[in-house]
Structure 1
Amino acid sequence: MPQIDASGIKLEYEASGDPSAPPVLLIMGLGAQLTRWPEPFHRALVDAGFHVIRFDNRDIGLSTWLDHLGTPALGPAVLRAAVGLPVHAPYRLPDLAADAVGLLDALGIARAHVIGVSMGGMIGQILAAQHGSRVRTLVSIMSSSGDRRLPQADWRLRMALVRRPRQRGDREALIDQLTALLKRISSPGYPPDDKLLREQVARDMARSYHPAGVGRQLLAILASGSRGPVLGQITAPTLILHGDRDPLVPPAAAPDLHRRIRGSRIEIFPGMGHDLPGALIPAITRHIIDHLQRADTPVSGSAVS
């Protein structure tokens, strides 16, 4: 896969579909590589006539690793964020949004439809709010405004996210541990196949495994705080998708975003957790493709900060 240089950060990316077609930028979530986008999801967008770009965020996958910035102490940072104390991080979410702008610049793309999952949705919100001229539409999937007053994930799940591998030298044990975590946040209504999920984790690890980068990305989320004050600046047509059984970003985050982003639309999927289950991909992509194709439809509404 090719790489581009975005202000000193090398970003690994993949482009599919007709380069002259409307561009779609896919932004993955915390610790997730570009390969985490389900192929049926990716293929549906290409088949609908879009030029689809997906990439590894900084500090993950085959993009630049920033190990010179140090290995973060995540437990104390999670506790500080929970009680509203400032969290220090070597970079923040606006820096990851700037990386995405750099990728668009390098590819000669003036405006793109932006689809973000989880942390990727947060990055997409910042893009739409602070780089609005670059965003044709926004789709925010299982994401949040970052408002600390919203319901939060269970403490045990939050600490599982920051727990270091029990057996660093045992690859099979590590695959088991990561598979168990993904299963824990998956969709109760559409439980994953254990064997396929484990194979996905093994493929991801074979491509790249960088836990320190995941930690720095988590610090970026914690240090960036609430996007509430800027979400009212978003003018791009916005679609909010969420599952009603999401244990990591509880479903109350979706109506909160809907309330804050002017003219946004919202769809809640029963039984969906914090993943993109195969059985729901046809419905999810149908909503997304309709949203992208309706981009010129006037929208109205109100926003709060």
Structure 2
Amino acid sequence: MTQKLVKANGISINCEDRGPADGTPILFVNGYTSTMMSWPDELMDGLRDKGFRVIRYDNRDVGKSEKFSGLPKIADVVAAVREGRKPDMPYTLADMAADGIGVLDALGIKRAHVMGISMGGMIVQRMAIHHPERLLSVTSIMSSTGNPDLPKASDEAMKALQAMPPSEEREDVIRHRMKGRRVYQSPAYPKSEEDLYTFVAREYDHMYYPEGGIRQYAAIMGDGSRVAELGKVRVPFLVVHGHADPLVPHAGGEDTAKSVPGAKLVSIDGMGHDLPVELCPQYVDLIATHARAAEQKAAAE
């Protein structure tokens, strides 16, 4: 389970292949500013116990993957999308999707299941749009389509996401991020103070790089609506979303499932914008069942 840098899509991407080597690959794609360390062990181990080859990686501009330069103006990016112009930004969600496909290339994998949370859900949607031949199935969790008509995040959740810590000192950053996560956590499954501290500290210690978040946010805002493109997707598609998500409201999951032909939506009561360990057995069963059905369909074809 050693992490290593690979060349993917022309850049350096930090990844970890948990195996087993003979399992069907499943690629985990992180959300906005989060690193590969954000995935619960209960989810990864659960899928590995089901026989999947578990692979996770740091998106560009976070963790130990390659960092970029240039600070786009978010207002200009939003205006460009609204006016139908190409936004001026360092990279796109399509580029980030190509990074994940590049990880598969580097590991010698022809086809894989992919799953993504939040921004990672948007990235796997882009994989399904641009690289369908590389995918066995898609699972999009607590994500959305970029449809501008959907309900927005609550004011409190957006403030929590965008607020800056009082200093760059480790303890200040960790405590600040804990406070933010409390705002959009799953209300039915709150983490203890100790568990939340451990979770946030693990991400910080992997690498703290706030500048990358500005470019990732530009990529999200600059992608616009994927609804029309998702209508052409034929990859088996599962959508999982919490009814209590204040950051990406449940309507985002509904719109994703409605946009992809044949997609299945599973809505979970008490789930906010995180992956509670209490729900991991349910996630494992949902993802494994979806993936195995997709494999059977592919074999039949």
Give the TM interval when normalised to the shorter protein: over 0.9
Instruction: Specify every segment of 5 or more residues in structure 1 that has no aligned partner in the other structure, as ranges.
Output: 300-305
What is the CA–CA distance in structure 2 between the aligned matches of 1:181 and 1:62, rounded to whole Å?
A: 23
Q: Deviations over 1:265-305 (max 9, x none)?
A: 11100000000011111111111111111114669xxxxxx
**Aligned match of 2:218:** 219
**Aligned match of 1:303:** none
Q: Could you state the TM-score of these two structures normalised by the residue count of structure 1?
A: 0.91
The answer to whether 1:84 aligns with 2:86 is no
For the residue of structure 2 that corresponds to 1:222, the secondary structure is helix
What one-letter code is carried by the residue in structure 1 that aligns with 2:284?
A: T
For the residue of structure 1 that corresponds to 2:250, the secondary structure is coil
For the residue of structure 2 that corresponds to 1:5, the secondary structure is strand
Shift of 1:15: 0.6
Query: Mapping of 1:141-220 within 5 angstroms?
Result: 141-168=141-168, 170-220=169-219
Q: Which runs of 4 or more aligned residues in structure 1 lie more than 4 Å from their structure 2 counterparts after TM superposition?
A: 77-81, 296-299
**Aligned match of 1:108:** 108
What is the CA–CA distance in structure 1 between the aligned matches of 2:157 and 2:214, rounded to whole Å?
A: 15
For the residue of structure 2 that corresponds to 1:105, the secondary structure is helix
Q: Could you state the TM-score of these two structures normalised by the residue count of structure 2?
A: 0.92
**Aligned match of 2:284:** 285
Give yes or no for contact 1:27–1:124 (8 Å, CA) kept in 2: yes
What is the CA–CA distance in structure 1 between the aligned matches of 2:220 and 2:294, rounded to whole Å?
A: 29
The answer to whether 1:264 aligns with 2:266 is no
Percent identity reads: 39
**Aligned match of 2:30:** 28
What one-letter code is carried by the residue in structure 1 that aligns with 2:268?
A: F
Aligned alpha-carbon RMSD (Å): 1.9
Q: Deviations over 1:124-174 (max 9, x none)?
A: 011111110001000000010110100010234324323332223x32122
Residue 12 of structure 2, aligned match among 10, 13, 34: 10
Give yes or no for contact 1:162–1:215 (8 Å, CA) kept in 2: no
For the residue of structure 2 that corresponds to 1:294, the secondary structure is helix
Give the count of matched residue pairs: 294
Instruction: Specify every segment of 5 or more residues in structure 2 that has no aligned partner in the other structure, as ranges.
Output: none
**Aligned match of 1:302:** none
Give yes or no for contact 2:25–2:54 (8 Å, CA) kept in 1: yes
What is the CA–CA distance in structure 2 between the aligned matches of 1:295 and 1:157, rounded to whole Å?
A: 35
What one-letter code is carried by the residue in structure 2 that aligns with 1:289?
A: A
Give yes or no for contact 1:13–1:55 (8 Å, CA) kept in 2: yes
Closer, same or farther: CA 79–238 of 1 in aligned 2, 3 Å:
closer
What one-letter code is carried by the residue in structure 2 that aligns with 1:181?
A: G
